[in-house]
Structure 1
Amino acid sequence: MFNHPLEDMIDRAIEKARREGQLDNLPGEGQPIKDLHAPKDAVLDRIAAEAGATSPLVVLRNQINDARAHLQTLTDPQARKDQMKVIADLQLRLSLEMEAHARFG
């Protein structure tokens, strides 16, 4: 249930690259990754894509990144402490989602 020790560092590196535009205009940008899913999930994947659905894992990771960015702007100790609690809650929820995804798909 614990995150990999490098996960935070990897997330920060990806976020930095995204902010600096290093991930813009890459070949295949905006295209689905082929053969990423099991064929039996093709119909479900198409329905989800057409509905604009986003994985809870992606949503939570984005919320964590946004919360971390907001934390960097705070100077008041109590506000920082409150924001760190928000981040901890989001990280716990992400861990639970990841475990559920690993167990149940």
Structure 2
Amino acid sequence: MNTTDSQAPAARDGSARDPFAPDVRAVRVFAGIGLLVLAVTCVGTLVVLLRQAYAGDGVPGPLADLALWSLGLSGLVGLWALGIPRDAVGHRVRCGAVLAQYALAVAAPLLAAVDLA
């Protein structure tokens, strides 16, 4: 009878691994999916900005620059959350970065849609 089947899987350093510990891989997957969401929201933002520029008075909304900054920052935060080493930051910091990535990506088309004219 093998007794290692009933024990928790061993970590790389030989110690017992906690099965309820937060997993960095899952957060990295969500960061990667966030980069795909960023690509979709980038296209949506550009469509909104071009529609405003051609349909109205020829000027995009007043928050167009802020929307583009939001897209850029979302990409940077997503790449940071995806690529930072496992032991560099805590799990909560990485989760917060992924949440900020999604919030910035979704805010971009909403900011671009603001047109006061």
Bin of the TM-score, shorter chain as denominator length = 0.3 to 0.5
TM-score, reference length from structure 1? 0.41
Which is higher, the Rg of structure 1 or of structure 2? Answer: 2
TM-score, reference length from structure 2? 0.38
